[in-house]
Amino acid sequence: MNIAVPSEKLKPADFASDQEVRWCPGCGDYAILKAVQRTLPDLDTPKEKYVFVSGIGCSSRFPYYMSTYGFHTIHGRAPAFATGIKITNPDLDVWMVTGDGDGFSIGGNHMLHVLRRNVNIQILLCNNEIYGLTKGQYSPTSEIGLRTPSSPTGSVDRPLKPLVFTLGAGARFAARGYDTQKTLPEILKRAHAHQGTSMVEILQNCIVYNDAVFDNVLARNVAADKQVHVQHGHPLIFGADKNMGIRLNTNTLTLEAVTIGENGVTEDDILVHDEKNRSLATMLAEMDGDELPVAMGVLFCDPAETYENGITQQMDAAQDATTPSIDALLRKGPTWRV
Amino acid sequence: MNELTIKSGPNSSDRKEVPSVVIRFAGDSGDGIQITGSRFTDTTALVGNDLATFPDFPAEIRAPIGTTFGVSAFQINFGSRRIETHGDVPDVLVALNPAALMVNIARLKTGGTIIVDSGTFTDRNLKKAGYLENPLEDGSLDGFSVLKIDIAKLVLEAVKEFGLSQKEGLRCKNFWVLGLIFWIYGRSRQNTVDWLNKKFASRPEIANANIAALNAGHVFGEVSELGDGIELYSIPAAEMPPGLYRTITGGEALAWGLVAGAELADLRIFFGSYPITPASPVLHSLAKMKQFGVKTFQAEDEIAAICSAIGASYAGALGITSSSGPGIALKGEAIGLAISTELPLIIVNSQRAGPSTGLPTKTEQSDLYQAVYGRNADAPLVVLASRSPADCFDVAIEACRLAAKYMTPVMLLTDGYIGNAAEPWLIPTVADKKPFPVNRDIDPEGFLPFARDPATLARPWAVPGTPGLEHRIGGIEKEVGSGNISYEPANHQEMTDIRRNKILGIAKDIPAQIVESGDETGDLAVVGWGSTYGPISRAVNNKLAEGKNVSHIHIRHIWPFPENLETLLRGFKKVIVPEMNDGQLKTVLRDQFLIDAKPVNKVTGQPFKITEIEDAIDLALES
């Protein structure tokens, strides 16, 4: 073994594999790939410990483009593979990359269970509200009425909100960002630091089949009014003039957008973000840019024991208790000699 | 009551010595029939009889009491000679209600003994069981020796001092019956007393009540005139190879074999599974083996179970998953991925009757096609089959060896019958077995994830966490050597050829096919696989004793077949293949060797009887 010990800090380019990236020109996945490659050098993990696991779909080609260990698995099942990997070797730094169809349609069941179990992995959900690889059918996050080859008269399927699902499943970390967001690496670092399943929904543009689907939230001219970037301990203030805020209507137990200085609203009325408050996080996750802005950043982070730690502790306890011998085991219980 | 001095059995001179006996216990599924059976099994094993058991229970946990579809049964064949099956026809039927009698009477040997709980033969119960007349009174049981005992009444009397409710008291009925049977066959109660004390350590009143019932049943035997035709028996110890023995079920043997195999391979086990009848006992056994570094994961479904196991193999453990046919069907796509990524994986299939949900608690061997052919595209893997409960141990070790050495999924076929049945087992010593450690020291210099060992055609197992070996794998076709994605037509042909040849090459690394009994060539070969071993073996030996020219060949390595199998089969004028399916091994033999193998099929959910195989042999030899 002649392993070159890197004397210098790894660079983003060190995480790019020698494989040609084959997403459509202009795909949001390029930006997400770059964000991940910019994030990893700043983490305290040796390169050989990274494992990228994916299912099937455009975003699931992700592992091939990383010069880490990678496993491109089958449609919807990446959470189960990631769980097996993490239980087997908790030292590995497991990242799962999935899409809205892979993660929440065919893989909805596995997603539910990996989130509730709290396996310590990072999930990057590239949500483009469409099926790209199968050429443009509506997905479980598509809006009602979307016309696609499989819904020529408009989809009647009600869309699922991935972060509401995530919080409902009992996950301990939920965050949202978007593909070209300059601060996406900061969100990814928070996800990585969290011990447990970290769900990061990344709004991702599909330039071919669902172009500009998030423009009502992400377009330069509306971004300030349609996004609220949440930060633990800080008031939920947004708007081009930083004079809009989110207030809890105590009569309806719902959130509402208010303008500071209008109708007697003061800064004291604005909710302060508490990332340990699951109820607040769920209400923030519901906000869709219609009446209320879309929440970006870490909506929820409340660590709890991880699944693999639970297993490891039981294993350690069992192994402390006895010196195992398979031959002794075979001879335990009623035996007789002939 | 625990201190009660247990008298030894009567003098052997009072008893009629017989070479073997078949008893069938039957009752309602709440009567504790399986416990009665397994207690009798343990005690019988301890006196040195050879034995085979057949737990035969309904799919419903608790069908309505007294109905025919709620009847649970346990059959045991034990003797001083070698026992190969659970016995074609019971000598004794214990029927704890009319339904149990109704369901099982047709199996009983002519002139056999029936022991019934006469108190349950009420108008209501008779009607529920479908009797128009009371069979205990209408003469329909003439020709059998019938012992009518109001067991419920006697049990309640025996346990009344323990202050149990009537319901709890009646729960001791099975131990009363066991006590009586122990008397008839001259068995000690001590082992059962110890078992009850341990089992109910936290509820001594329950232990004591059951012990009282056990003793009362025994005493009833001692003091009663049991009636015409009912004698006391003794069954001498069987002649078996010397050594230390225990009883074992297939489920336990399989779990222990996997742990032993992983130890010999120097690997840790990851077992991902989803509960399904009759595969669950393997999960239960392995979940208790954390001290051996066994990690078990009860997944959310069958697909997650196998995917987690493949992930574990990728991460360097020996990934194992277990299910029954319908669950294996769900795992199909993931099996293809494991074949494509060439990772070790063991898939245990405890077969049951089907298709679909079929008869989930009944046995069948009908997943052979599924194992050999049942995936999309050209997806070869190794298929092994175990033949008996104890054999599961050896086959599990072989599965570990082949999976790790050849970087391949291995399908291990067992079935509900083998999994639940018990037999005496000459305990092997794992420490004496030759280890087959996996060599994972891989040099990054020139590393290619899909390079090949020229001898085995296996690719290297490059485990995440190893510096310098970072690489990507997946289901998309891989370029020869590099493993990079490749859509090249010629490359796909070459990879398909490699995957096929890797598996077929394993034929060079497995034992040659032997003939179990009979000559190496001759008039007729009876070819079997899996749990039909017992009845085929006994039937062929019976026919050999009659001077017939017949041989028994039992196949463990089903894919690939042993190299000499074709030559061996061509040495026989005729080949018949008894299977508990509609002719699956028959098809594979014809396919591979173009021989005229003839099917002998039974798909009733019940194992073959020896006589059925004997008839098939006679027919084949005569025609």
CB contact under 8 A, A336 and B244: yes
Are B415 and B530 within 8 A, CB to CB?
Answer: yes
Residue with tokens 């003839």: B598
Interface mutation target, options B470, B471, B476, B477, chain A, most CBs of A under 10 Å: B470
Domain identity same for A160 and A266: no
Question: B376 in contact with A at a CB cutoff of 8 Å?
Answer: no
Domain identity same for A106 and A249: no
Q: How many residues does chain B have?
A: 623
**Residue A333 is assigned to a structural domain of this protein:** no
Measured between alpha carbons, how far is residue B28 from residues B60, B86, B278, B519 in Å? 11, 21, 20, 47
Residue A1 confidence (pLDDT): 43
Residue A4 confidence (pLDDT): 53
In angstroms, the first-to-last Cα distance of chain A is: 53
Cα separation of B116 and B127, whole Å? 17
Question: B443 in contact with A at a CB cutoff of 8 Å?
Answer: yes
Which residues in chain B have Cβ-Cβ distances shorter than 8 Å to A1?
Answer: 441, 443-444, 467-468
Question: For the whole model, what pTM was predicted?
Answer: 0.94
Cα separation of B26 and B15, whole Å? 25
Q: Tokens standing for B314?
A: 């990728």
The full DSSP string for B248-306 is: EEHHHHHHHHHHHHHHHHT--EEEEE---TTTHHHHHHHHT-GGGT-EEEE-SSHHHHH
Residue B13 confidence (pLDDT): 52
Which residues in chain B have Cβ-Cβ distances shorter than 8 Å to A114?
Answer: none
Which residues in chain A have Cβ-Cβ distances shorter than 8 Å to B464?
Answer: 48-49, 51, 69, 85, 89, 92
Structural domain total, chain A: 2
Domain identity same for A188 and A253: no
Ramachandran sector of residue B525 (left: φ over 0; alpha: ψ -120 to 50; beta: rest):
beta
Domain identity same for A93 and A174: yes
Torsion B15-B16-B18-B22 (CA) sign: negative
**Residue A103 is assigned to a structural domain of this protein:** yes
Question: A257 in contact with B at a CB cutoff of 8 Å?
Answer: no
User: pLDDT by residue (tens digit) across A194-216?
Assistant: 999 999 999 999 999 999 999 99
Find the CB nearest B470 among A47, A79, A315.
A47
Domain identity same for A128 and A240: no
Domain identity same for A161 and A254: no
Cα separation of B172 and B31, whole Å? 9
* Rg of chain B taking only CA atoms, in angstroms: 27
Domain identity same for A129 and A197: yes
Domain identity same for A252 and A292: no
CA B65 to chain centre: 28
Question: B225 in contact with A at a CB cutoff of 8 Å?
Answer: no
Domain identity same for A185 and A287: yes
Nearest-CA distance from A323 to chain B in Å? 8
Residue B59 confidence (pLDDT): 79
CB contact under 8 A, B312 and A88: yes
- Degrees, nearest 5: CA angle B303-B304-B305: 90
**Residue A164 is assigned to a structural domain of this protein:** yes
Provide the edge-to-edge strand list for the sheet that holds B572-579.
B550-555, B522-529, B572-579, B597-601
Question: B377 in contact with A at a CB cutoff of 8 Å?
Answer: no
Residue B4 confidence (pLDDT): 42
pLDDT tens digits for chain A (338 residues)? 445 555 578 999 999 999 999 999 999 999 999 999 999 999 999 999 999 999 999 999 999 999 999 999 999 999 999 999 999 999 999 999 999 999 999 999 999 999 999 999 999 999 999 999 999 999 999 999 999 999 999 999 999 999 999 999 999 999 999 999 999 999 999 999 999 999 999 999 999 999 999 999 999 999 999 999 999 999 999 999 999 999 999 999 999 999 999 999 999 999 999 999 999 999 999 999 999 999 999 999 999 999 999 999 999 999 887 778 999 999 998 899 98
**Residue A262 is assigned to a structural domain of this protein:** yes
CB contact under 8 A, A48 and B319: no
- What is the bridge-based pairing of β-strands B318-323 and B269-273? parallel
Find the CB nearest B246 among A4, A17, A334.
A334
Residue B439 confidence (pLDDT): 80
Residue B29 confidence (pLDDT): 87
Residue B230 confidence (pLDDT): 76
Question: A116 in contact with B at a CB cutoff of 8 Å?
Answer: no
Domain interval for residue A183: 14-234+273-315
Domain identity same for A171 and A149: yes
Find the CB nearest B443 among A1, A48, A67.
A1
Residue A183 confidence (pLDDT): 97
Are B516 and B540 within 8 A, CB to CB?
Answer: yes
Which residues in chain B have Cβ-Cβ distances shorter than 8 Å to A63?
Answer: 472, 474
- Cα atoms in the Cβ-side hemisphere of radius 13 Å centred on A286: 11
**Residue A2 is assigned to a structural domain of this protein:** no
- Residue ranges of chain B with per-residue pLDDT less than 70: 1-13, 227-229
Find the CB nearest B45 among A51, A336, A337.
A336
Nearest-CA distance from A332 to chain B in Å? 9
Domain identity same for A143 and A253: no
Cα separation of B362 and B417, whole Å? 8
Are A84 and B312 within 8 A, CB to CB?
Answer: yes
**Residue A325 is assigned to a structural domain of this protein:** no
Which residues in chain A have Cβ-Cβ distances shorter than 8 Å to B237?
Answer: 338
**Residue A254 is assigned to a structural domain of this protein:** yes
Which residues in chain B have Cβ-Cβ distances shorter than 8 Å to A67?
Answer: 470
**Residue A338 is assigned to a structural domain of this protein:** no
User: pLDDT by residue (tens digit) across B247-272?
Assistant: 999 999 999 999 999 999 999 999 99
Q: Tokens standing for B300?
A: 């959310």
Find the CB nearest B476 among A72, A113, A319.
A72
Which residues are within 8 A (CB) of A309 and not within 5 positions of it... i.e. 6 or more apart?
Answer: A90, A120
CB contact under 8 A, B467 and A47: yes
How many CB atoms are closer than 10 A to CB B179? 26
CB contact under 8 A, A324 and B291: yes
Cα separation of B423 and B411, whole Å? 24
Which residues in chain B have Cβ-Cβ distances shorter than 8 Å to A49?
Answer: 464-465
CA B17 to chain centre: 30
Residue A135 sits in a domain of what CATH number? 3.40.50.970
Domain identity same for A42 and A108: yes
User: pLDDT by residue (tens digit) across A88-142?
Assistant: 999 999 999 999 999 999 999 999 999 999 999 999 999 999 999 999 999 999 9
